[in-house]
Chain A
Protein backbone atom coordinates (compact mmCIF):
# COMPACT_ATOMS: atom_id res chain seq x y z
CA UNK A 1 0.00 0.00 0.00
CA UNK A 2 2.87 2.38 0.72
CA UNK A 3 4.14 1.96 -2.82
CA UNK A 4 0.81 3.19 -4.15
CA UNK A 5 1.69 6.71 -3.01
CA UNK A 6 4.82 6.62 -5.13
CA UNK A 7 2.92 5.28 -8.12
CA UNK A 8 0.37 8.08 -7.92
CA UNK A 9 3.07 10.71 -7.45
CA UNK A 10 5.10 9.31 -10.34
CA UNK A 11 2.01 9.29 -12.54
CA UNK A 12 1.42 12.98 -11.85
CA UNK A 13 5.05 13.82 -12.64
CA UNK A 14 4.97 11.86 -15.89
CA UNK A 15 1.68 13.49 -16.80
CA UNK A 16 3.25 16.91 -16.30
CA UNK A 17 6.43 16.05 -18.15
CA UNK A 18 4.58 14.48 -21.07
CA UNK A 19 2.41 17.50 -21.75
CA UNK A 20 4.43 20.09 -23.66
CA UNK A 21 3.06 23.62 -23.40
CA UNK A 22 4.05 26.80 -25.13
CA UNK A 23 1.95 28.68 -22.58
CA UNK A 24 2.83 30.29 -19.28
CA UNK A 25 3.05 33.62 -17.53
CA UNK A 26 4.79 36.08 -19.86
CA UNK A 27 7.81 37.69 -18.22
CA UNK A 28 9.73 40.54 -19.86
CA UNK A 29 12.88 39.28 -21.55
CA UNK A 30 14.45 42.61 -22.49
CA UNK A 31 13.42 46.12 -23.51
CA UNK A 32 14.56 48.89 -25.81
CA UNK A 33 15.52 51.32 -24.30
CA UNK A 34 16.85 48.92 -21.69
CA UNK A 35 15.45 48.80 -18.15
CA UNK A 36 17.05 51.54 -16.04
CA UNK A 37 19.18 52.84 -18.92
CA UNK A 38 20.04 56.39 -19.93
CA UNK A 39 19.86 57.02 -23.66
CA UNK A 40 20.58 59.77 -26.16
CA UNK A 41 19.06 60.72 -28.53
CA UNK A 42 15.49 60.19 -27.37
CA UNK A 43 13.93 57.00 -28.72
CA UNK A 44 10.98 57.19 -31.08
CA UNK A 45 9.60 53.88 -29.90
CA UNK A 46 9.53 51.74 -26.76
CA UNK A 47 9.74 47.98 -27.23
CA UNK A 48 9.49 45.11 -24.76
CA UNK A 49 10.12 41.51 -25.70
CA UNK A 50 8.46 38.90 -23.50
CA UNK A 51 9.20 35.26 -22.82
CA UNK A 52 5.95 34.12 -24.41
CA UNK A 53 3.36 35.07 -26.97
CA UNK A 54 0.91 37.79 -25.94
CA UNK A 55 -2.81 38.20 -26.38
CA UNK A 56 -3.15 41.42 -28.46
CA UNK A 57 -6.62 42.32 -27.20
CA UNK A 58 -5.61 42.60 -23.55
CA UNK A 59 -1.89 43.50 -23.47
CA UNK A 60 -1.15 47.16 -22.76
CA UNK A 61 1.81 49.51 -22.58
CA UNK A 62 2.09 53.17 -21.65
CA UNK A 63 4.91 55.64 -20.95
CA UNK A 64 4.64 58.67 -18.64
CA UNK A 65 6.95 61.49 -17.65
CA UNK A 66 7.88 62.51 -14.11
CA UNK A 67 4.64 64.48 -13.73
CA UNK A 68 2.53 61.51 -14.78
CA UNK A 69 1.61 62.90 -18.19
CA UNK A 70 1.43 60.39 -21.01
CA UNK A 71 4.25 60.67 -23.57
CA UNK A 72 3.33 57.78 -25.82
CA UNK A 73 1.15 58.09 -28.91
CA UNK A 74 -1.45 55.64 -27.65
CA UNK A 75 -0.76 53.09 -30.37
CA UNK A 76 0.55 50.28 -28.14
CA UNK A 77 0.22 46.95 -29.91
CA UNK A 78 1.54 43.45 -30.07
CA UNK A 79 3.71 43.18 -33.15
CA UNK A 80 1.85 41.23 -35.87
CA UNK A 81 5.08 39.55 -36.98
CA UNK A 82 6.33 38.71 -33.48
CA UNK A 83 3.71 37.99 -30.84
CA UNK A 84 6.32 38.26 -28.07
CA UNK A 85 6.95 41.95 -28.84
CA UNK A 86 4.86 44.76 -27.36
CA UNK A 87 5.67 48.25 -28.60
CA UNK A 88 4.40 51.83 -28.56
CA UNK A 89 5.42 54.99 -30.42
CA UNK A 90 6.71 57.91 -28.37
CA UNK A 91 6.23 61.64 -28.67
CA UNK A 92 9.44 63.70 -28.85
CA UNK A 93 11.00 63.30 -25.41
CA UNK A 94 12.98 66.04 -23.70
CA UNK A 95 15.66 65.11 -21.18
CA UNK A 96 14.18 63.45 -18.13
CA UNK A 97 13.16 60.18 -16.57
CA UNK A 98 10.21 58.21 -17.91
CA UNK A 99 8.17 55.43 -16.39
CA UNK A 100 6.99 52.50 -18.48
CA UNK A 101 4.06 50.39 -17.33
CA UNK A 102 3.10 47.20 -19.09
CA UNK A 103 0.30 44.70 -18.69
CA UNK A 104 0.94 41.45 -20.51
CA UNK A 105 -1.66 38.75 -21.03
CA UNK A 106 -0.24 35.56 -22.41
CA UNK A 107 -2.18 33.51 -24.93
CA UNK A 108 -3.31 31.17 -22.13
CA UNK A 109 -4.77 34.26 -20.35
CA UNK A 110 -2.20 34.44 -17.54
CA UNK A 111 -1.61 38.10 -16.71
CA UNK A 112 1.54 39.82 -15.49
CA UNK A 113 2.16 43.50 -14.72
CA UNK A 114 5.26 45.53 -14.31
CA UNK A 115 7.00 48.84 -14.66
CA UNK A 116 10.47 50.27 -15.08
CA UNK A 117 12.12 53.58 -15.84
CA UNK A 118 14.58 54.87 -18.41
CA UNK A 119 16.13 58.30 -18.79
CA UNK A 120 16.86 60.58 -21.72
CA UNK A 121 19.80 62.96 -21.40
Chain B
Protein backbone atom coordinates (compact mmCIF):
# COMPACT_ATOMS: atom_id res chain seq x y z
CA UNK B 1 0.00 0.00 0.00
CA UNK B 2 1.36 3.38 -0.93
CA UNK B 3 1.25 5.40 2.28
CA UNK B 4 1.05 8.64 0.33
CA UNK B 5 -2.38 7.62 -0.85
CA UNK B 6 -3.64 8.34 2.65
CA UNK B 7 -1.44 11.06 4.03
CA UNK B 8 -1.21 13.53 1.18
CA UNK B 9 -4.97 13.76 0.55
CA UNK B 10 -5.49 14.10 4.31
CA UNK B 11 -3.04 16.98 4.51
CA UNK B 12 -4.51 18.54 1.39
CA UNK B 13 -7.99 18.35 2.86
CA UNK B 14 -6.77 20.12 5.98
CA UNK B 15 -5.93 23.19 3.93
CA UNK B 16 -8.49 23.00 1.17
CA UNK B 17 -11.67 22.60 3.18
CA UNK B 18 -14.07 25.51 2.82
CA UNK B 19 -14.42 27.93 5.73
CA UNK B 20 -18.06 28.31 6.61
CA UNK B 21 -19.96 28.23 9.88
CA UNK B 22 -22.63 25.83 11.11
CA UNK B 23 -23.69 24.80 14.62
CA UNK B 24 -21.37 22.21 16.07
CA UNK B 25 -21.30 19.60 18.81
CA UNK B 26 -18.60 17.04 19.19
CA UNK B 27 -15.83 15.30 21.03
CA UNK B 28 -17.31 13.13 23.67
CA UNK B 29 -20.36 14.96 24.98
CA UNK B 30 -23.52 13.15 26.02
CA UNK B 31 -25.64 15.82 27.64
CA UNK B 32 -23.56 17.38 30.39
CA UNK B 33 -21.20 14.41 30.49
CA UNK B 34 -17.83 14.93 28.86
CA UNK B 35 -16.00 11.73 28.03
CA UNK B 36 -12.28 12.37 27.54
CA UNK B 37 -10.30 10.51 24.89
CA UNK B 38 -8.85 7.53 26.73
CA UNK B 39 -5.38 6.23 25.94
CA UNK B 40 -5.58 2.42 26.09
CA UNK B 41 -9.18 1.83 25.07
CA UNK B 42 -11.30 3.02 22.17
CA UNK B 43 -13.62 5.99 22.63
CA UNK B 44 -17.37 5.53 22.14
CA UNK B 45 -17.76 8.61 19.96
CA UNK B 46 -16.79 9.85 16.53
CA UNK B 47 -14.73 13.01 16.71
CA UNK B 48 -12.32 15.42 15.11
CA UNK B 49 -9.30 14.86 17.31
CA UNK B 50 -5.62 14.11 17.10
CA UNK B 51 -3.05 12.64 19.47
CA UNK B 52 0.47 13.82 18.85
CA UNK B 53 2.42 12.39 20.39
CA UNK B 54 1.60 9.39 22.52
CA UNK B 55 4.86 8.35 24.16
CA UNK B 56 4.86 4.87 25.66
CA UNK B 57 7.53 3.04 27.61
CA UNK B 58 6.22 -0.51 27.82
CA UNK B 59 6.88 -2.97 30.65
CA UNK B 60 9.89 -5.21 30.04
CA UNK B 61 9.23 -8.33 28.01
CA UNK B 62 10.13 -11.75 29.33
CA UNK B 63 13.41 -11.75 27.39
CA UNK B 64 14.44 -8.49 29.06
CA UNK B 65 13.81 -6.32 26.04
CA UNK B 66 11.84 -3.10 26.41
CA UNK B 67 9.85 -1.43 23.67
CA UNK B 68 9.23 2.31 23.59
CA UNK B 69 6.82 3.89 21.13
CA UNK B 70 6.05 7.33 19.77
CA UNK B 71 2.55 7.22 18.38
CA UNK B 72 0.23 9.42 16.37
CA UNK B 73 -3.48 9.09 15.68
CA UNK B 74 -6.17 11.20 14.12
CA UNK B 75 -9.95 10.92 13.98
CA UNK B 76 -12.03 12.78 11.41
CA UNK B 77 -15.77 13.00 11.08
CA UNK B 78 -17.06 12.61 7.54
CA UNK B 79 -20.68 13.12 8.59
CA UNK B 80 -21.92 13.90 12.13
CA UNK B 81 -22.28 10.16 12.80
CA UNK B 82 -19.60 8.60 10.61
CA UNK B 83 -15.88 9.01 11.06
CA UNK B 84 -12.54 7.66 9.97
CA UNK B 85 -9.42 7.10 12.03
CA UNK B 86 -5.74 6.52 11.30
CA UNK B 87 -2.87 5.69 13.62
CA UNK B 88 0.74 4.63 13.51
CA UNK B 89 3.69 4.50 15.85
CA UNK B 90 7.45 4.42 15.71
CA UNK B 91 8.90 1.63 17.81
CA UNK B 92 12.29 1.45 19.49
CA UNK B 93 13.21 -1.87 21.05
CA UNK B 94 16.16 -2.24 23.36
CA UNK B 95 17.37 -5.83 23.44
CA UNK B 96 19.99 -6.85 26.02
CA UNK B 97 23.18 -7.96 24.30
CA UNK B 98 21.89 -7.28 20.83
CA UNK B 99 21.56 -4.33 18.46
CA UNK B 100 18.60 -2.14 19.19
CA UNK B 101 15.72 -2.39 16.76
CA UNK B 102 13.47 0.33 15.50
CA UNK B 103 11.01 1.26 12.81
CA UNK B 104 7.38 2.05 12.11
CA UNK B 105 4.58 -0.26 13.07
CA UNK B 106 1.83 -1.03 10.60
CA UNK B 107 -0.62 1.69 9.67
CA UNK B 108 -3.99 1.25 11.34
CA UNK B 109 -7.17 2.72 9.94
CA UNK B 110 -10.74 2.57 11.12
CA UNK B 111 -14.30 3.41 10.16
CA UNK B 112 -16.83 4.21 12.89
CA UNK B 113 -20.54 4.81 13.01
CA UNK B 114 -22.22 6.49 15.99
CA UNK B 115 -25.22 4.38 16.92
CA UNK B 116 -26.70 6.84 19.40
CA UNK B 117 -26.01 9.60 21.89
CA UNK B 118 -28.52 9.77 24.74
CA UNK B 119 -28.06 13.11 26.48
CA UNK B 120 -30.47 12.52 29.36
CA UNK B 121 -28.84 9.22 30.32
CA UNK B 122 -25.30 10.32 29.43
CA UNK B 123 -24.92 7.28 27.18
CA UNK B 124 -23.47 6.68 23.75
CA UNK B 125 -22.36 3.79 21.54
CA UNK B 126 -20.71 3.13 18.22
CA UNK B 127 -19.68 0.26 15.98
CA UNK B 128 -16.43 0.26 14.11
CA UNK B 129 -14.13 -1.73 11.91
CA UNK B 130 -10.39 -1.26 12.32
CA UNK B 131 -7.71 -2.61 10.04
CA UNK B 132 -3.99 -3.02 10.62
CA UNK B 133 -2.43 -3.13 7.17
CA UNK B 134 0.27 -5.65 6.33
CA UNK B 135 3.66 -4.40 5.16
CA UNK B 136 2.99 -0.74 5.94
CA UNK B 137 5.52 -0.96 8.77
CA UNK B 138 8.92 -2.53 9.30
CA UNK B 139 8.44 -6.27 9.59
CA UNK B 140 12.07 -7.26 10.06
CA UNK B 141 13.54 -5.49 13.03
CA UNK B 142 10.58 -3.53 14.37
CA UNK B 143 8.32 -6.57 14.43
CA UNK B 144 5.43 -5.14 12.44
CA UNK B 145 3.00 -7.86 11.38
CA UNK B 146 3.38 -9.28 7.90
CA UNK B 147 -0.38 -9.73 7.69
CA UNK B 148 -3.46 -7.57 7.71
CA UNK B 149 -5.80 -7.82 10.71
CA UNK B 150 -9.45 -6.84 10.63
CA UNK B 151 -11.03 -5.89 13.97
CA UNK B 152 -14.75 -5.21 14.31
CA UNK B 153 -15.63 -3.51 17.58
CA UNK B 154 -18.53 -2.21 19.67
CA UNK B 155 -17.79 0.71 21.99
CA UNK B 156 -20.11 2.27 24.52
CA UNK B 157 -20.05 4.80 27.33
CA UNK B 158 -22.29 5.62 30.27
CA UNK B 159 -22.13 8.42 32.80
CA UNK B 160 -23.76 8.03 36.20
CA UNK B 161 -25.28 11.49 36.39
CA UNK B 162 -28.76 10.00 36.74
CA UNK B 163 -28.01 8.41 40.12
CA UNK B 164 -30.37 9.44 42.96
CA UNK B 165 -29.58 12.37 45.24
CA UNK B 166 -28.26 10.21 48.07
CA UNK B 167 -25.57 8.98 45.68
CA UNK B 168 -24.79 12.43 44.30
CA UNK B 169 -21.05 12.14 44.92
CA UNK B 170 -21.00 9.05 42.69
CA UNK B 171 -22.50 10.98 39.77
CA UNK B 172 -19.08 12.06 38.46
CA UNK B 173 -18.31 8.39 37.71
CA UNK B 174 -18.53 7.16 34.13
CA UNK B 175 -17.49 4.04 32.30
CA UNK B 176 -16.54 3.37 28.71
CA UNK B 177 -16.02 -0.12 27.35
CA UNK B 178 -15.21 -2.02 24.16
CA UNK B 179 -15.85 -5.49 22.87
CA UNK B 180 -14.27 -6.77 19.67
CA UNK B 181 -12.44 -9.42 17.72
CA UNK B 182 -9.19 -9.59 15.78
CA UNK B 183 -9.22 -11.60 12.56
CA UNK B 184 -5.74 -11.92 11.04
CA UNK B 185 -5.75 -12.61 7.31
CA UNK B 186 -2.85 -15.06 7.62
CA UNK B 187 -2.94 -18.08 9.92
CA UNK B 188 0.79 -18.11 10.69
CA UNK B 189 3.92 -16.04 10.21
CA UNK B 190 7.45 -17.50 10.32
CA UNK B 191 6.09 -20.65 11.94
CA UNK B 192 4.18 -18.83 14.66
CA UNK B 193 0.37 -19.01 14.75
CA UNK B 194 -1.71 -15.88 14.28
CA UNK B 195 -4.83 -16.61 16.34
CA UNK B 196 -8.18 -14.96 16.20
CA UNK B 197 -8.60 -12.90 19.37
CA UNK B 198 -11.44 -11.69 21.55
CA UNK B 199 -10.68 -8.23 22.85
CA UNK B 200 -12.30 -6.31 25.67
CA UNK B 201 -11.49 -3.12 27.47
CA UNK B 202 -12.97 -0.61 29.86
CA UNK B 203 -12.19 2.70 31.51
CA UNK B 204 -13.65 3.72 34.86
CA UNK B 205 -13.51 7.49 35.21
CA UNK B 206 -14.18 10.01 37.97
CA UNK B 207 -14.55 13.56 36.67
CA UNK B 208 -13.66 16.39 39.01
CA UNK B 209 -15.04 18.75 36.37
CA UNK B 210 -18.41 17.04 36.72
CA UNK B 211 -18.18 17.15 40.51
CA UNK B 212 -17.38 20.86 40.58
CA UNK B 213 -19.88 22.07 38.00
CA UNK B 214 -22.82 19.68 38.32
CA UNK B 215 -22.79 18.22 41.83
CA UNK B 216 -20.98 20.31 44.44
CA UNK B 217 -18.57 23.19 44.16
CA UNK B 218 -15.86 21.86 46.45
CA UNK B 219 -13.60 24.76 45.64
CA UNK B 220 -11.07 22.99 43.47
CA UNK B 221 -9.21 25.55 41.45
CA UNK B 222 -7.27 25.11 38.28
CA UNK B 223 -5.90 22.71 37.20
CA UNK B 224 -7.77 20.26 39.44
CA UNK B 225 -11.24 21.34 38.32
CA UNK B 226 -10.52 19.94 34.85
CA UNK B 227 -9.04 16.62 35.90
CA UNK B 228 -10.39 13.14 35.40
CA UNK B 229 -8.98 10.22 37.36
CA UNK B 230 -9.32 6.89 35.60
CA UNK B 231 -8.30 3.27 35.48
CA UNK B 232 -8.19 1.51 32.13
CA UNK B 233 -8.23 -2.22 31.60
CA UNK B 234 -7.51 -4.12 28.38
CA UNK B 235 -7.78 -7.81 27.62
CA UNK B 236 -6.87 -9.97 24.63
CA UNK B 237 -7.77 -13.66 24.60
CA UNK B 238 -6.58 -16.06 21.92
CA UNK B 239 -9.48 -18.06 20.52
CA UNK B 240 -7.72 -20.60 18.30
CA UNK B 241 -4.44 -21.80 16.77
CA UNK B 242 -2.68 -21.77 20.14
CA UNK B 243 -1.23 -25.21 21.01
CA UNK B 244 -1.70 -24.97 24.80
CA UNK B 245 -5.13 -23.41 24.86
CA UNK B 246 -6.32 -19.86 25.03
CA UNK B 247 -4.13 -17.24 26.64
CA UNK B 248 -5.31 -13.92 28.05
CA UNK B 249 -3.06 -10.92 28.35
CA UNK B 250 -3.76 -7.33 29.19
CA UNK B 251 -2.89 -4.10 30.87
CA UNK B 252 -4.27 -2.24 33.87
CA UNK B 253 -3.55 1.46 33.55
CA UNK B 254 -4.33 3.91 36.36
CA UNK B 255 -3.82 7.55 35.48
CA UNK B 256 -4.98 11.13 35.18
CA UNK B 257 -6.30 13.21 32.30
CA UNK B 258 -6.46 16.99 32.31
CA UNK B 259 -8.98 18.24 29.76
CA UNK B 260 -8.70 21.86 28.71
CA UNK B 261 -10.48 23.96 26.14
CA UNK B 262 -8.43 22.90 23.13
CA UNK B 263 -6.40 19.93 24.22
CA UNK B 264 -5.96 17.35 26.93
CA UNK B 265 -2.95 15.82 28.63
CA UNK B 266 -2.93 12.26 29.87
CA UNK B 267 -0.53 10.15 31.92
CA UNK B 268 -0.93 6.51 32.94
CA UNK B 269 1.06 3.71 34.48
CA UNK B 270 1.02 0.42 32.57
CA UNK B 271 0.77 -2.72 34.68
CA UNK B 272 0.63 -5.99 32.74
CA UNK B 273 -1.28 -9.02 33.94
CA UNK B 274 -2.01 -12.49 32.65
CA UNK B 275 0.50 -14.55 30.71
CA UNK B 276 4.01 -13.84 31.96
CA UNK B 277 5.31 -13.74 28.41
CA UNK B 278 3.68 -10.36 28.05
CA UNK B 279 6.11 -8.71 30.40
CA UNK B 280 6.71 -7.70 33.97
CA UNK B 281 7.28 -4.59 35.99
CA UNK B 282 5.54 -1.40 35.01
CA UNK B 283 5.61 1.00 32.11
CA UNK B 284 4.13 4.39 31.49
CA UNK B 285 2.50 6.51 28.83
CA UNK B 286 2.12 10.25 28.23
CA UNK B 287 -0.23 11.73 25.65
CA UNK B 288 -0.91 15.17 24.19
CA UNK B 289 -4.32 15.18 22.55
CA UNK B 290 -5.81 17.98 20.45
CA UNK B 291 -9.51 18.80 19.98
CA UNK B 292 -9.58 19.73 16.31
CA UNK B 293 -13.24 20.75 16.54
CA UNK B 294 -12.33 23.48 19.03
CA UNK B 295 -9.10 24.50 17.35
CA UNK B 296 -10.58 24.65 13.86
CA UNK B 297 -14.36 24.87 14.30
CA UNK B 298 -14.99 26.11 10.76
CA UNK B 299 -12.63 23.89 8.78
CA UNK B 300 -11.06 20.53 9.67
CA UNK B 301 -12.83 20.46 13.04
CA UNK B 302 -16.29 19.79 11.63
CA UNK B 303 -17.86 17.02 9.57
CA UNK B 304 -17.16 17.26 5.86
CA UNK B 305 -20.81 16.65 5.04
CA UNK B 306 -23.73 17.87 7.15
CA UNK B 307 -23.82 18.94 10.78
A16 & B292 in contact (Cβ 8 Å cutoff): yes
Q: Does A9 contact B (CB under 8 A)?
A: yes
Contacts A11-B11, A109-B22 given; indicate if A36 touches B217 (C-beta within 8 A). yes
User: For the complex, is B92 an interface residue (Cβ under 8 Å from A)?
Assistant: no
Known A-B contacts A24-B261, A28-B213; A112 and B32 likewise in contact (beta carbons under 8 Å): yes
Q: Which of B3, B32, B215, B293 contacts A36 (CB 8 A)?
A: B215
Is B186 interfacial (CB-CB < 8 Å)? no
Q: Say which size band chain B's interface belongs to.
A: 35 or more
Q: CB distance A108 to B297 under 8 Å? A: yes
B88 interface residue per 8 A CB criterion: yes
Chain B residue contacts of A21, Cβ below 8 A: 262, 294-297
- A16's partner among B50, B119, B217 (CB-CB below 8 A) is B50
Q: Are B32 and A114 in contact (CB under 8 A)?
A: yes
Q: Which of B23-31, B38-46, B123-131, B248-256 lies at the interface? A: B23-31
Question: Beta-carbon contacts of B1-24 to A below 8 Å, as 1s and 0s?
Answer: 001100110110010000001111
Residues of B within 8 A of A (CB): 3-4, 7-8, 10-11, 14, 21-27, 29, 31-32, 50, 52, 72, 74, 88, 90, 103-104, 119, 138, 168, 209, 212-217, 261-262, 290-298
Give me the interface of A with B, judged by CB distance under 8 Å.
1-2, 4-6, 8-9, 11-13, 15-16, 19, 21, 23-25, 27-28, 30-31, 34-37, 51-52, 105, 108-116
